[in-house]
């Protein structure tokens, strides 16, 4: 039987890439069109992570307003149109990402992305950043459905389905993320999770009890090695 390669499953926004600038800029375009004040980047970083709809709701909530579903869907469509046209104006990979991928790939690892971003903008972004072809699967909140309803993190099925699409197996997979959503997803799936502490969360990521926390992608190799030793 052919051995399955170990798989690293990455979140995207706040984990692989610093995207808050473009996400916040797009949000502020939408808010301005609706006559609402902008959200500061520092505040927007705490709102990112659950997808564009949640970000829009948070932007309106910051202005003391709520959204009904019909209006939200209209604004969401406008958001995606603008964001796709400006997806990498400011966004960039975090320092050390490419070197880490190179090292793990040389050691036989494969990679996937499991994000609550919509799938097509995720592919577009990773293509713009020059790493799209490094990932066996790039799965967003609209990739998998159950009776027409999107399956998104923290539902563990999102992670299981991503692993399957990448040709991996759960017992040799590790999640890498930046938020409580990522950590809760991995825990629900029974999969180890390494958290980066430079992403998008309103509390330090250690509060959510990941298996390990790193502060730079240079530290990921040792973190993964520790998890693999604990599995042996």
pLDDT tens-place string over residues 8-60 = 999 999 999 999 999 999 999 999 999 999 999 988 888 886 778 889 999 99
pLDDT category of residue 2 using cuts at 50, 70 and 90: low
Q: How many CA atoms lie within 13 A of 220 on its CB side?
A: 29
192 in the same domain as 111 = yes
Q: What pLDDT sits at residue 51? A: 75
Q: Answer yes or no: do 80 and 98 share one domain.
A: no
Is a pLDDT exceeding 70 seen at residue 1? no
How many H helices and E strands in the chain? 9, 10
Among 53, 85, 117, the domain-final residue is 85
What pLDDT was estimated at residue 52? 85
Same domain, 109 and 72: no
Q: Is residue 105 domain-shared with residue 207, that is, in the same domain?
A: yes
Of 89, 112, 84, 97, nearest in space to 174 by CA = 112
Domain count, the chain: 2
CA atoms 204, 193, 107, 14: torsion sign: negative
**How many Cα neighbours within 13 Å face the side chain of 184?**
10
133 and 217 inside one domain:
yes
Range name among 71-75, 155-159, 184-188, 200-204 with the lowest pLDDT average:
200-204
Please work out, in degrees rounded to the nearest 5, the angle formed at the alpha carbon of residue 176 by the alpha carbons of 174 and 182: 105
pLDDT in tens, 53-97: 889 999 999 999 989 999 999 999 999 999 999 999 999 999 999
- Which residue, chain included where needed, has tokens 């948070």? 58
What is the reported pTM? 0.93
Domain boundary residue, one of 62, 85, 108: 85
* Secondary structure (3-state) at 99: helix
Distance (Å, whole) CA 116 – CA 181: 9
Q: Is 164 helix (H, G, I), strand (E, B) or coil?
A: helix
Is 11 a known active-site residue?
Answer: yes
Domain limits for position 100:
7-18+92-231
CB atoms within 10 A of CB 35: 7
Average pLDDT over residues 144-165: 96
pLDDT of residue 3: 74
- Mean pLDDT of all residues in the chain? 94
Q: 181 with 171: CB under 8 angstroms?
A: no
Catalytic residue among 11, 13, 155, 178: 11
Q: Please indicate, yes or no, whether residues 191 and 223 belong to a single structural domain of this protein.
A: yes
What whole-number distance in Å separates Cα of residue 82 and Cα of residue 213?
34
Q: How confident is the model at residue 122 (pLDDT cuts 50, 70, 90)?
A: very high
């Amino acid at each position: 039987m052919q051995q399955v390669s170990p798989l690293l499953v990455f979140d995207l926004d706040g984990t692989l890439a610093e995207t808050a600038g473009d996400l916040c800029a797009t949000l502020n375009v939408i808010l301005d069109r609706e006559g609402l004040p902008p959200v500061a980047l520092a505040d927007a970083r705490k709102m990112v992570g659950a997808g564009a709809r949640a970000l829009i709701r948070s932007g309106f909530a910051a202005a003391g307003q709520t959204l009904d579903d019909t209006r939200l869907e209209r604004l969401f469509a406008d958001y995606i149109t603008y964001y796709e046209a400006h997806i990498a104006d400011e966004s960039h990979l975090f320092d050390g990402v490419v070197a880490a991928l190179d090292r793990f790939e040389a050691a036989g690892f494969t990679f996937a992305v499991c994000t609550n971003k919509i799938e097509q903008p995720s592919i577009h972004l990773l293509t713009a950043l020059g790493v799209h072809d490094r990932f066996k699967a790039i799965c967003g909140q609209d990739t998998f459905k159950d009776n027409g309803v999107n399956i998104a993190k923290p539902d563990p099925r999102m992670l299981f389905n991503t692993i399957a699409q990448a040709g991996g197996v759960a017992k040799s997979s590790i999640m890498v993320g930046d938020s409580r959503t990522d950590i809760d997803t991995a825990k629900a799936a029974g999969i180890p999770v390494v958290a980066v502490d430079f992403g998008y969360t309103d509390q330090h990521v250690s509060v959510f009890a990941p298996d390990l926390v790193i502060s730079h992608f240079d530290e990921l190799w040792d973190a993964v090695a520790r998890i693999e030793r604990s599995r042996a």
